[in-house]
Structure 1
């Protein structure tokens, strides 16, 4: 169990080295050539890499993921069905770039449109979905809705002016937001996520030149199963990806590379680095007391703190598993305390990685004390004032 010390600011800090070995090698960070990148192990909640990750950038077709998320929500809520056929407007038909080659005589099944977006990156398919779900029937109205929905989901650096990533000064997303969106898609819609691993989709035989998924990771045999590429002259080449090996899953997003070859090489390198250079380590068991917090005016003078679930983190394999930890809370805690109350944060600092914060909760109830507790507390407070020189000080 960790030991504690007081600070003059009134915060109680607990610091200790949880895991240590004598000879630790320096951690080598991944040297990405992308302009912005974000890599996270979502199984343990560990951020592995963050480079300009919160900078809003042109997302190109990677922003189609937000259109897909909104469409999946509509299907889940019964506002749209997979077999429903949607008309193609002249506006949707007008899009160039990657398309399904739809025209105004088409009525297309929603399921085909989804595959057309995921596999073929169809700009026209996005617009068809957008107009069907828009509050005012326009793609612009759908884009405004997407922006509002993104903000609700915590995508604070995302704004949309269209459904497909067509170049526009108002179309922006950060790599952190894209990785968070990918995580939502994986966790919120497991029934639809397998679509992102499909490598080919032939729609109606009309576009033989556009039937293959552009995600270079699919088929490499490294556990990759999504999500979306993007490219414009302004954005460069980017990718939002995910891969699963064993029980671990990573998500990542990067942007700003100069070729499809560079994108493919960077994607493979990120996946290999994330899985080979880090290992899971269990450092605590749910219910196990990690430290204690002093309780003011309670029947007990302190309460044990624990995590709500087993504490598992990633550690770089080359560091000798060095991990420092600090517990921070406003103290002392005022009674009464209920078991399960969140009272503190455990800050983990693996060498070479961003810190990770874990909530600590009370292991037991501490009722408010009676007269004797008040007397004991007052005596302790007076003794502390004497120790600090606060009594009889004429200055």
Structure 2
């Protein structure tokens, strides 16, 4: 059984949403090909809808360089959220952490450094020494911490990623993909919005040494508020960026460019492309009733149906009116049914092509009726089968 739905606009979420809903002659903007980007791989992702708007070699295995530190901080944030770590905890700096080569926060062996300072040293200054220090404090040593990183990568579905260290220093078994990095960036922004604010800070001073964030777009584009740079001679220059304009947030991942300027220019081009030619709408709220269906042999005769979380879609600018929503359900629903049970599918199509699908779930429990109630419904279903009723 298939039913067509009207979209439920969330008032006030985007001004252009109401315009698209009310205007029948909205001009369609042609969508050109994505900009030419001199990168080994890249992806442009909408944060709310999780749709890729442009990509190249996004599933190709690549070296992450200091983009690794996104997972280093993500694991630390989870430990903070779980109560296993506190921002004011003091971390004893080991000789290994102090001797770690590459970019540095300039912590000194034997000193004690607050967790918050170490995290800012990782996020803003890209300190390898800070990364090893926090890894050792959380897990005992960096190898065990890398296993924690891999556990979280598996939970997030980062199937093309493996970590062997917390810094991003080259290792033959340390690898990721542009798509996996976007997945991680989206999770970090979504789960830890308060900590995410640190990624927009342009500088951090520790021990009298002031260092600037290497993300040039923080100075060039006021809509950019993160995330992380990376570079080794083998990985090239990499940049993960997020920006928000008029309620629409995009994440770009650019890997393997030729210079700091090239990674900034490529990221800016992708962001501008996404914001110029696409728009994102919230179609339905999680838990809202999308349909109420007849249910048989239950203590109640009707069952509310919906989706378990908010549904966003990203479409070419001016194409909102071309969206269609359909519900696919079995011909009959029969009790008992438990709230949250999947009973069908919500399908969103654009010009007849599938755009996104979500499980359609029961929003209430319906217990099985007693003997006489079941018998009565059985007769009604039998008669309905004979005479074409419902």
User: TM-score normalized by structure 1?
Assistant: 0.78
Q: C-alpha distance in 2, partners of 1:309/1:374? A: 35
Which shows bigger deviation, 24-33 or 96-105?
Answer: 24-33
Query: RMSD over aligned Cα, in angstroms?
Result: 3.6
Give matches, 1:1-395, under 5 Å: 12-14=1-3, 26-31=30-35, 33=37, 34-134=39-139, 137-206=140-209, 211-281=211-281, 283=283, 290=290, 295=295, 305-307=305-307, 312-319=312-319, 321-329=321-329, 332-337=332-337, 341-350=341-350, 355-362=355-362, 368=369, 369-380=373-384
Q: Pick the structure with greater CA Rg.
A: 1
CA distance in 2, matches of 1:128, 1:98: 14
Q: Deviations over 1:285-327 (max 9, x none)?
A: 7787655767565688885644567755332115474224443
CA distance in 2, matches of 1:193, 1:254: 20
Instruction: State the Cα distance separating 1:13 from its structure 2 match.
Output: 4.5
Are 2:35 and 2:270, in contact at CA under 8 Å, matched by a contact in 1? no
CA contact (8 A) 1:293 1:332 kept: no
3-state SS of 1:37 partner: strand
Per the TM alignment, residue 329 of structure 1 is displaced from its structure 2 partner at its CA by 4.3
* Aligned-pair CA distance for 1:336: 3.1
Tell me the alpha carbon deviations over residues 215-256 of structure 1, each in whole angstroms, 9 at most, x when there is no partner. Answer: 121022331111101122332222222112233322232312
Q: Please, which moves more after superposition, 118-127 or 79-88?
A: 79-88
In structure 2, the CA distance between the partners of 1:56 and 1:380, relative to structure 1 (3 Å rule), is farther
Cα 1:339/1:143, change in 2 over 3 Å: closer
**In structure 1, the residue corresponding to 2:163 is in which secondary structure?**
coil
Contact 1:67–1:146 at 8 Å: present in 2 too? Answer: yes
Gaps of 5+ in 1: 1-11, 385-395
Inter-partner Cα distance in structure 2 for 1:343 and 1:99: 54
Shift of 1:261: 1.8
1:40 is paired with a residue of what secondary structure?
strand
- TM-score after normalising by structure 2: 0.79
- Which whole-Å CA distance do the structure 1 matches of 2:310 and 2:147 have between them? 41
Q: Secondary structure at the match of 1:96?
A: coil
Report Cα offsets for 1:31-74 as digits up to 9, x if no partner: 45333333333234444334443444221111101111122233
Contact 1:48–1:353 at 8 Å: present in 2 too? no
Can you list the C-alpha shifts for 1:96-120, whole angstroms capped at 9, x where unaligned? 2211234424433322221211111
Partner of 1:389: none
Secondary structure of 1:218's counterpart equals: helix
The 1:76–1:335 alpha-carbon spacing in structure 2 relative to 1, beyond 3 Å, is: closer
CA pair 92-352 structure 1, distance change in 2 beyond 3 A: farther
Distance 2:106 2:202 in 1: 19
Cα pair distance change 1:28/1:350, threshold 3 Å: farther
Structure 1 counterpart SS, 2:203: coil
Cα separation, 1, equivalents of 2:353 and 2:52: 7
Work out whether residues 345 and 357 of structure 1, in 8 Å CA contact, stay in contact via their aligned partners in 2: yes
Between Structure 1 and Structure 2, the one with more helix by share is: 2
What is the total number of aligned residue pairs between the two structures? Answer: 368
